[in-house]
Structure 1
Amino acid sequence: MSAPRPTVPWPVVALFAAGYLAPYLLPTVVGRLDAGLPLSATRAGAVGSALLLGSACAGFLLASRVERIGARRLARLGLALAVLGYGGAALAGDVPAVVAGAVLGGLGSGAVTTVAATRIAAQPDPHRTSTLGLLAVSALAGAVYLTVPHLGAGHGQPLAAIALTALAVWPLTGRLPDRTATARPRAEDRDPLPHLRSGLVLAAAMPCWSLVQNSLWGVSGRIGLTQARLSEAAVGVVFAVALGAGLMGVLGASALGARLGRAAPVGVGTVLIAVCVVASASATGPVSFAAGEIAWNALYPIVLSYLIGLAASLDRRGRWAVLVGSASSLGTAAGPLTGSVLCARAGFPVMGMVLGAGLLVVAVPMTAVALHTGGRALGTGGRPSLTGGVRRRGGAAAQQPVAVVEIPVQAPAPPVQGAYDTAGPRPAGVAPGPGPGN
C-alpha cells in the first residue's frame, strides 16, 4: 500500500502569498506613487526600494530567531505590521506618511516571508509547498493587476490590496506552531551556519543575479511602448501572457524536481535568461519584444526555484534560504535604479548587453556551488543522493534527501505603463521587479 500523500500546509502557502505580494505588486505601487503624489519618478522608485530594503533587513535579522520567537507569534507580528503599514500608506495623502507606511509594511512582509521560508524548509515535501505558494502569489498578483486599473487613479488601491491580503491570512496563523518548551535551546540557535563558504558565495551572487532581472523589468514597459512601438493595451496583453508563462514555469520547475540535479538548471538556465535579457532590450517590434518577455518569464521561476532550493539544502532549519532570499532583495531594490541609469546613458540595447554579460559572470560561482553541494546523482524519488559526497546537517553523512525550497525573492508581476506605469526611464524612473517572476 502506497504512503498517503502529505496534506497541503495551507497556512504556510497563505503566508508565502501574503509576504511576497508586495514585491510582486511593486511596479504598480511605484507607478501610482509617481502619478498620484508630488514625487518624481526617481523618488517614487526610491520609496519602492526602501520597502524592499525593509523586507530584506527583516529577513537578515530574523533568519535564526523564528524558533526562539515562535512561528505563530512572528507571523502575526509581521501581518500586523503589513496591515498597519500598507493600510496607513493607502489612506495617507502626504509623502512622509506614505513613505513611513511603505517601510513599515516592508518590515512586516519581511517577517512574514521569513516565517514562510523556515516553515517550508521544515515540510516533508517542501518543493510541493513552495510551488503552491508561487502559484498562489502569482495568481493573486495577476488578479490585482487586472483589477486595479478599473478602480481609478491614486496610490491607495495596490497598497490596500496588500493590507487586505495580510488581514485575510491572519486567521490561518492559529494553525502555526508557537514557541514551546521543546524548542531548540539558545545555544543551538547560536550555532554557526553550516557550509559557510558555499552559503556566502551564493548569498554574494544572488544580489547581482536579482539586480539584473529587476534592472530590465523596471524599464520593460517603456521598451514596449517606445522601442517596440506597442500600444499601452498591447503591452498589457504581453505582460499578462508573460505572467501566465511564469505560472507555467513554476509548474515546470515542480515537474522537473531534482531530476536534472541543480548545476544544469542553474548554469544553463542563467545563460538562457541572459539571452532573453539581450533580446528583450534589443526588441524593435511586437514579435521580438513579446518573445523575449514571455521566454524570460517562463525561465526565471525555474532557475530561481533551483537557486533557493540550493540555499535550503545547505541548512535544514532554513537559515540559508532566508539569508539568500534577503540578499536577493537587495539586488531587487537596486535593480530598477541601475536599469534606469543604464538606459538613460547608453540606450536599451547596450543596457541589455551589459546586463546579459553580468548574468554570465555570476552564473559561474552559482554553478560551482551547485556542483559542489548538490551533485548530479539521483536517489530514490528523483531527489539528489549525496551518499559518499558532501557531509551536511551538523556533520551527519548526507544520506537524507535534500530539502528543496523555492522562494521567489522579489519577483513582482510585470509592469504596465500608463495607469500604473512602473517607471521606464522617464527620464530616470524606477520600478522594481523582474518580469519573470521574484
Structure 2
Amino acid sequence: MSARTRGAGALVALVALFTAGYLAPYLLPTVVGRLPAGLGVTPAQAGLVGSVLLLGSSTAGFALAARGDRTGPRPAARAGLLAMAVGYGAAATTTSVPLVVAGVVLGGLGSGTATAVAVAGIAGEHDPHRASTLGLLSVSATAGALYLTLPHLGGGHAGPLLAIAGAAALVWPVTHRLPGAARTVRGAAATSRGPLPYRRTGAVLAGSILCWSLAQNALWGVSGRIGLTQAGLSEVTVGAVFATALGAGLLGVTAAGALGSRLGRAVPIGVGTVVIAGCVLLSSAAGGLASFATGEVLWNAVYPVVLSYLLGMAASLDPHGRWAVTVGSASSLGTACGPVAGSLLSARFGYPGMGLVLCSLLLLVAAPMAAVARRAAGRPLVPGSIRRRGGAPAAVLAGKGAAASLVPQVGAPEQPVAAIPVGAGRRRASRSTFGLARPSDRG
C-alpha cells in the first residue's frame, strides 16, 4: 500500500475511503448517546462500547502499518468495507449487548483498515496536505448531513450504525480505481528493508497525537450528554449544534487548504491546540445553548485545521506511508480511550472538572507537537519535495512547476553513484570522468 497512487480517479477513491473510515469517530457522540436508550446500559458502559469500537480501528491500523506492503490496496480496502457493512449492520439489527459489542468490534476493525489504506495512499500523493484536507472536508460534510437527518429517523442505536454501514456499501464501487495486485515478495521485502526516516520525530509525534486525540474525544464522546443534561437542550437542538459545528469545520478545513504552508506547520498546530484547549473548557462548563454552541462550533472549526496539518506532517515524514499509518493509528488509539476516559472523569469530577483535566493535557502536548513541526520543517508542504540534503531549493522549483520532469518526485529511487578509482599514475589519470579509457589505453 506504500506504492504511489496517481491520477484523479485514485484520489477520489482515497478520499471516499477516508470518509468511510473516519465516519465512525465523527458520529461517536450520537452512537454513544443512543446506546443507553437502545440497550438499557449505563452511560459509562455506553462509553466503553464506543472505546471498544475505536480500539478495533486502531488495532487494524497498527497491523497494516507493519504488513501493509504485503497486501494490495484494493483487496485491503474491500475487506475493510465488508467488515464495516457486516459488523455495523449486524449491531444495528439486534438489542443483545454481546452481539452489539461483537458487531462494533468487527466494524471498528473494518474502519481502521479502510482508514489505513486511505492514509497510506494519501502519503504517496504529490501534496499529502491537500489530499488529507479533501478527506476531512468530505467526512465533515457527510457527518454534518447525518447529524441533521438522524434525529428525524427515530431513536435507538440502529440509525447511526446503519448510516456507517451504508457509507461503506456506497464507497465499495470506487475501490476499483485503487491498485489491485499485491507486491511481489521481493518488492515488499525491498521496501520493508528501507530505513524508517525521522524515527525520533515520528515517535514523539505519535505519542503526542495519542494524548491529543484522547483529550478531545473524551469530551466529544460525552458532548451529547452535556447538551442534553447539563445544558438542558433537546436532541434536535443538540443535533443542530453538532451539524453547525461540523459546518464550521468545513470552513476551517477550506481555510487550511487555502493557507497551505504560508505559516508553516508549527504555528497552526501549536496555536490551534491552545485554542482547542480553551474550547474544551468552555464546552464542558456549558449551562445553556449559547455557551454550549459557542464552544462546540469554535472547537470543531479549529480541530480539523490542526488535524489536517498533523496528518500532512505525518505523511511527509515517509513517502511510503509508514509514519502516516502509525500516527493515524496512534490517533485512533487515543480516540478509542476517549469515550471511557470522558465517562470516568465526568463521573468522578463532573463535566467542568473533566474539562479542566482535558484542557491541561492539551496544553501539555501543544509544545512537543509544535517542536516536532519545527523540526520536520525541512520538508516543505509542496509537491515534489526532494529527499536529499540541500534539496529545498529544488523542491520549491518543483512546487512552482519549473522543470518538473528534471526534479525527482517524492519516493523516487536514488540514482546509484559509481565509485571511480583514482590512481597516482598518469595512465589512470588520463581516463575520463565517465570511466572510459582513451583509444591508446585499450591496447
Which category of TM-score, normalised to the shorter sequence, fits these structures? 0.7 to 0.9
**1:378 and 1:385 in contact (8 A); partners too:** no
Say yes or no: does 1:352 pair with 2:355. yes
Correspondence for 1:423? none
Correspondence for 2:99? 97
Whole-angstrom distance in 2 between the partners of 1:331 and 1:381 = 30
Deviation string for 1:77-133 (max 9, x for gaps)?
A: 111111111111122232221111110111111111111011111122333322222
1:294–1:181 Cα change, 3 Å: closer
Q: CA deviation at 1:286?
A: 3.1
Correspondence for 1:430? none
1:204–1:189 Cα change, 3 Å: same
**2:241 and 2:293 in contact (8 A); partners too:** yes
Correspondence for 2:133? 131
Say yes or no: does 1:336 pair with 2:339. yes
**1:212 and 1:358 in contact (8 A); partners too:** yes
**1:276 and 1:296 in contact (8 A); partners too:** yes
Q: Partner amino acid for 1:218?
A: G
Say yes or no: does 1:282 pair with 2:285. yes
Say yes or no: does 1:70 pair with 2:68. no
Correspondence for 2:431? none
**1:259 and 1:378 in contact (8 A); partners too:** no
Instruction: Give aligned pairs, total.
Output: 390
Q: Partner amino acid for 1:204?
A: G
SS of the residue aligned with 2:263?
Answer: coil
1:383–1:191 Cα change, 3 Å: closer
**Mapping of residues 408-423 of structure 1, within 5 Å:** none
Correspondence for 2:14? 12
SS of the residue aligned with 1:63?
Answer: helix
Q: Partner amino acid for 2:112?
A: G
Structure ranking higher on relative contact order (CA contacts 8 Å, 6+ apart): 1
Whole-angstrom distance in 1 between the partners of 2:232 and 2:98 = 37
**1:259 and 1:383 in contact (8 A); partners too:** no
Deviation string for 1:146-194 (max 9, x for gaps)?
A: 2222222332222122112211211211111022566833143243421
SS of the residue aligned with 1:321?
Answer: helix
Correspondence for 1:107? 109
Whole-angstrom distance in 2 between the partners of 1:16 and 1:100 = 23
Q: CA deviation at 1:247?
A: 0.9
1:197–1:168 Cα change, 3 Å: same
1:402–1:346 Cα change, 3 Å: farther
Q: CA deviation at 1:18?
A: 1.2
Correspondence for 1:153? 155
Q: CA deviation at 1:380?
A: 7.0
**1:270 and 1:360 in contact (8 A); partners too:** yes
Whole-angstrom distance in 2 between the partners of 1:116 and 1:380 = 20
Say yes or no: does 1:242 pair with 2:245. yes
Correspondence for 1:408? none
Q: CA deviation at 1:235?
A: 3.1
**2:71 and 2:183 in contact (8 A); partners too:** no
Q: Partner amino acid for 1:87?
A: G
Q: Partner amino acid for 1:46?
A: L
Comparing 97-106 with 350-359, greater Cα deviation is found at 350-359
**2:127 and 2:383 in contact (8 A); partners too:** no
1:18–1:319 Cα change, 3 Å: same
Deviation string for 1:251-309 (max 9, x for gaps)?
A: 11111111111111111111111122222223344333322221111111111111121
1:181–1:53 Cα change, 3 Å: closer
Deviation string for 1:340-381 (max 9, x for gaps)?
A: 232333233332222111111111111111111115x96878
Whole-angstrom distance in 2 between the partners of 1:278 and 1:10 = 37
Whole-angstrom distance in 2 between the partners of 1:327 and 1:198 = 14
1:98–1:342 Cα change, 3 Å: closer
Q: Which runs of 5+ in 1 are unaligned?
A: 391-398, 404-438
Whole-angstrom distance in 2 between the partners of 1:364 and 1:345 = 28
Q: TM-score under structure 2 normalisation?
A: 0.81
**Mapping of residues 280-319 of structure 1, within 5 Å:** 280-319=283-322
Rg larger in structure: 2
**1:34 and 1:41 in contact (8 A); partners too:** yes
Q: Partner amino acid for 1:7?
A: A
Whole-angstrom distance in 2 between the partners of 1:38 and 1:232 = 18
SS of the residue aligned with 1:287?
Answer: helix
**1:55 and 1:110 in contact (8 A); partners too:** yes
Q: TM-score under structure 1 normalisation?
A: 0.82
1:242–1:180 Cα change, 3 Å: closer
Correspondence for 2:420? none
Whole-angstrom distance in 1 between the partners of 2:349 and 2:374 = 36
Q: CA deviation at 1:383?
A: 8.2
Correspondence for 1:417? none
